Amino acid sequence: MPVTEYLERNARLYPDEVALVELNPEEKDTRRITWKEYGLVEPDRFRPYRREITWSVFNEKANRVANMLIGRGIRKGDKVAILMYNCLEWLPIYFGVLKSGAIAVPFNFRYDAEEILYCVELAEVDIILFGSEFIGRMEINAERLSKGRLLIYVGDNCPSFAESYHELVADCSSQAPGVELTEDDFGAIYFSSGTTGFPKAILHKHQSLTQAAEMEQKHHGTGREDTFLCIPPLYHTGAKFHWMGSLVAGSRAVLLKGARPETILSAVSQEHCTIVWLLVPWAQDILDAMDRGDIRKEDYQLDQWRLMHIGAQPVPPSLIRRWKEYFPNHDYDTNYGLSESTGPGCVHLGMENIHKVGAIGVPGYRWECKIVDEAGRDVARGDVGELCVKGPGVMTCYYNNPEATAEVLKDGWLFTGDMAMQDEDGFIFLVDRKKDVIVSGGENIYPVQIEDFLRKFDRVKDVAVIGLPDRRLGEKTAAIVEIKDGFTCTREEIEEFCMGLPRYKRPREIIFAEIPRNATGKIEKPKLRKIYGADNLVAKENQS
């Protein structure tokens, strides 16, 4: 069944119960409401920004979006992009797109203007809904973006090149649009990239979305009494499909803006959250703050918090050991996945298997796994090969890219590009990645993009970018730079040049050295990783 049926069911069964809360503890709420209504002791006390909607309102908003899109000519199979920060409108818009029969296309909010244009054209997007933070990036290519497309602005003070979302949906019906959906209809396109950094459009059917939702609820036992704290961006498959466990359970979720340790713990305390999904840096920051005495558990209401789980990057076992020292009663899970498998969970540790922390785990709910050699043959346990997964969440294809699809989809198996081994108990451990993608703080960073940028510096002869182990981020970006003969260059000059890159792409380490290349001219990155100690972080932890 399509995942939208869960929303309609919740609206029928729990119409007046809170579905979503938007919380920004660091922003003052300036809406007109008396301090007594809010329950504050003093009228001039700081009141954090907080909004909420019930399941019935959530469903009605989604219906309005669907009817608005249909009224503007959207039909089954058309594509609607969403370029917004997390907010209370995000998920109703996403479900409205699905209810209209269109394909939802979430955009990474880190995309610059050219990346936005590239992905719009790659996915053949028909409508773009975007938030106030993206006006500048949209305006750069507004003329090209608007050709044959509708640009819809979600916010106040609509720019001249777009139409106002609030005006468009105001008069639309809140009744279901009546579009018949099945699990075989196409539901979403997500973006991924290979080692070159050029995005590929990953097409999923509704079956994938429903599988991800039901699997999340199954893996973590999400029940009606739970409250899920969602911090990562909703364009990410991880955040959205972890939240969908709450959708299946009909339980409450909190969209939190901010990831400082005190922000997270305050939200858990005030909103009585029971399940929290963290990235490695956020968990590390919480533990470090506790070690320093900057925050104390005793200052928060945390007894109801039952599960902390992590995904999006390798998890050092030492981190979880430290976590259990502070939170001995917490369940823990590691989630592995990729956008081609509808995000996290095709492999997961399992809350009952914390003794195996360091492994990514075992096949998830309704999934199969195998590890194969270069010829596609199963390897023996203990041997290293490529991890392959198979299940109802595997993508349909890379949209309009049959060659790339054929490289990774073979007889229903998705070849992940990750090298792994399976121990004698059947638990899977990642060993290395075929791809050179650097995973830093849960975000993919593509070395070729940074290398191409640095080669524009007139004193740079050659450059290679690799990931180095980092206690907080998992990996940090390091640029090995070879300077042209007869020239000199300082670290500060390289850093100044890199100001032309987005912040998250700027190298955190600059190393001046010769770049080794093999006989065919390819950079020998394995050699660089060995020289500079960039061995797999989890492998190091397992040996400790």
Residues 121 and 130 sit within 8 Å (Cβ to Cβ) = no
Whole-number average pLDDT of the chain: 89
What's the pLDDT tens digit per position in 55-105? 999 999 999 999 999 999 999 999 999 999 999 999 999 999 999 999 999
Domain chopping of the chain, boundaries: 4-258, 310-433, 439-543
Q: Quick: pLDDT tens for 418-477.
A: 888 999 999 999 876 666 778 888 777 878 778 878 988 989 888 999 999 888 888 899
Written out in words, the top-level CATH class of the domain with range 4-258 is: alpha beta
CB atoms within 10 A of CB 132: 15
Structure tokens belonging to residue 359: 């492994």
Helix residue ranges per DSSP H, 418-524? 447-454, 491-497
Helix (H, G, I), strand (E, B) or coil at 411: coil
Asked if residue 534 has pLDDT above 70, the reply is no
Which of 410-424, 427-441, 520-534 has the weakest average pLDDT?
Answer: 520-534
pLDDT at residue 211 tops 80: yes
Integer Cα distance of 155 and 225 in angstroms? 33
| CATH architecture entry for 439-543 | 2-Layer Sandwich (3.30)
Could you tell me the pTM of the whole model? Answer: 0.83
pLDDT at 448: 76
Six token digits for residue 349: 């540790």
Average pLDDT of the residues in 122-129: 97
Task: State in words which class domain 310-433 has.
Answer: mainly beta
The Cα 339–Cα 537 span in angstroms is 23
Span 281-295, pLDDT tens digits:
889 889 989 998 999
The answer to whether 289 and 263 have CB atoms below 8 angstroms apart is no
Helix (H), strand (E) at residue 9: helix 4-13
